[in-house]
């Protein structure tokens, strides 16, 4: 288990992720951004090769591999002690990224896109981030509907954690999937009820950084959603979040430290 909240920085090797500040197009910018996140206090850095924003289009396994594997290899050579997570729903990308130096697999699809993912992660013996989503990124925000979002997401994790254990995945991290097939109301209800998921006895990852729940509620843009992100990250920490997945590491680290002092 995680004994204190961690910060996971976001680095996207994509041209179309929803927040421009997380996109890196050349190695010089990548090195600089990666080092800054480490210096600002990130314990993990999550690298993704394709956007999963609402309405995004899929790219091939080969294209995603060409984006992320050389980057991971270069970053591991430059920063050998850094902990890197690979954000992918392709089992081959997961496998080759771990071979290149990644040590966590973050899968937004829970193997619904690639049925080999779970068996591959089990063989890799790395932690697996299991996320809830209703629908796929291209259609997930087309009228998402739940009778009781907290109960349905909880039931999803009870089932999926059991599947993970049965296939041999020992370390499971859960992510309720803010913005993945959920309205603003659904997202805020999940945030309010986040402590319910502690009964699963798994680390909780909170990934709400600069998302539309924040900037649409505030009538602004993702570029101006840092303050709102910090507010919701703080609420998440108070409700039991163990990992903050964020674009802005320094501010997230400050929230963690302040909440730790508050709780002490």
Active site residue 211: yes
Burial of 143 (0-12, 13-18, 19+ CB in 10 A): exposed
- What is the spatial distance between Cα 104 and Cα 124, in angstroms, rounded to a whole number? 10
- What is the spatial distance between Cα 51 and Cα 58, in angstroms, rounded to a whole number? 8
Cβ atoms of 54 and 78 within 8 Å: the answer is no
Catalytic residue among 23, 182, 210, 211: 211
- What is the spatial distance between Cα 68 and Cα 129, in angstroms, rounded to a whole number? 18
Catalytic residue among 170, 245, 250, 253: 245
Burial of 150 (0-12, 13-18, 19+ CB in 10 A): middle
Cα torsion 49, 54, 59, 61 to 10°: value is 60
Cβ atoms of 166 and 204 within 8 Å: the answer is no
Active site residue 92: no
Catalytic residues: 211, 245
């Amino acid at each position: 288990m995680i004994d204190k909240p961690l910060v996971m920085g976001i680095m996207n090797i994509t041209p179309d992720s929803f927040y421009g500040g997380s996109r890196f197009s050349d190695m010089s910018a990548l090195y600089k951004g990666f080092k800054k996140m480490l210096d600002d206090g990130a314990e993990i850095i999550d690298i993704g090769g394709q956007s999963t924003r609402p309405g995004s289009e899929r790219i091939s396994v080969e294209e995603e591999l060409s984006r992320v594997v050389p980057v991971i290899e270069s970053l591991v050579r430059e920063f050998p002690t850094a902990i890197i997570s690979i954000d992918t729903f392709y089992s081959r990308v997961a496998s080759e990224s771990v071979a290149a130096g990644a040590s966590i697999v973050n899968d937004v699809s829970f193997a619904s896109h690639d049925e080999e993912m779970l068996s591959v992660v089990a063989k890799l013996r790395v932690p697996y981030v299991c996320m809830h989503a209703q629908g796929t990124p291209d259609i997930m925000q087309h009228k998402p509907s739940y009778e009781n979002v907290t109960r349905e997401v909880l039931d999803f994790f009870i089932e999926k954690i059991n599947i993970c254990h049965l296939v041999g995945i020992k370390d499971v991290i859960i992510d309720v999937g803010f913005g993945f097939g959920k309205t603003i109301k659904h997202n805020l209800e999940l945030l309010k009820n986040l402590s319910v998921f502690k009964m699963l006895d798994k680390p909780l990852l909170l990934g709400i950084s600069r998302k539309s729940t924040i900037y649409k509620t505030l009538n602004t843009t993702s570029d101006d959603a840092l303050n709102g992100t910090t507010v919701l990250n703080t609420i998440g920490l108070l409700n039991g979040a163990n990992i903050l997945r964020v674009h802005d590491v320094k501010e997230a680290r400050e929230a963690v430290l302040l909440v730790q002092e508050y709780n002490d």
